[in-house]
Amino acid sequence: MIPWLDPAMSPHFPPVHLALREPNGLLAVGGALSPDWLLAAYRQGIFPWFSEGEPILWWSPDPRMVVIPHELRLTRSLLKTLRSGRFELRCDTAFARVMAECAAPRGAAIGTWISPQIIAAYCRIHEMGWAHSIETWLDGELVGGLYGVAIGRVFYGESMFHRATDASKVAFAHLVRLLERRNFAVIDCQMSTPHLHSLGGRELPRAEFLAGVDRWTQENVQPGTWRNEYLNFDWHSSP
């Protein structure tokens, strides 16, 4: 039986090891998307994922896909794009727009899990300094980006989009370098994909991932807006 969480109560999740194996990681139903619920979930390696019209579903899959910042792999073509300076990169200047672009239909896909309810919830924690966007701009237009949640030394990646070739990859490369510079331990990518493997991602057993999260999220890294100057990197010195 999947526990139902009372949204009127303080955030309280069942032990993560009780999550289902099929579907992989489903832990609980219900609760709320208020900042206290979201931040409590992320501090325990739990995240919400559900379609519009469904109750809130909370997940913690096993294994967990992660990127360790210093393990980022850059292809020759991506490094060439980074060195070209074709794109302008910004932090936290268009968070809601990035989420809306991530929510837009892709190809033949119908619908999205990034509903207006989700956008409103993450915009609230963005205003509090917990959620961030990395944005790729071209000729003054937003053409790519990603967003996620930063707690302690963990960045929980949520979604990305692109409207120009390599725009999301460029945003991700800048995010990784930013996090490496700021001594983050890990980027949580949730589920495994070939794209993430190509960038240096790897799977960790959930227990190993959560043991790290328990340490890293306790570190006193204050929330706040990320500044554009955080993204000044010399890609010509990258191997």
Structural domains counted in the chain:
2
For residues 54 and 91, state if they share a domain: no
For residues 85 and 54, state if they share a domain: no
Domain residues for 93? Answer: 65-237
For residues 44 and 123, state if they share a domain: no
Taking 70 as the threshold, does the pLDDT of residue 107 lie above it? Answer: no
How confident is the model over 106-133, as a mean pLDDT? 86
Higher pLDDT, residue 191 or 34? 34
Q: The CATH number of the domain where 23 resides is what? A: 3.30.70.3550
For residues 43 and 143, state if they share a domain: no
How confident is the model over 25-41, as a mean pLDDT? 98
In this structure, the number of other CB atoms found within 10 A of the CB of residue 134 comes to 27
| pLDDT tens-place string over residues 139-156 | 999 999 999 999 999 999
For residues 38 and 11, state if they share a domain: yes
For residues 104 and 26, state if they share a domain: no
The beta-carbon contacts of 108-111 under 8 Å, at least 24 apart in sequence, are 111/51, 111/52
| pLDDT tens-place string over residues 68-87 | 999 999 999 999 999 999 99
For residues 42 and 105, state if they share a domain: no
Taking 90 as the threshold, does the pLDDT of residue 105 lie above it? Answer: no
Task: Note the Cα 179 to chain centre separation in Å.
Answer: 12
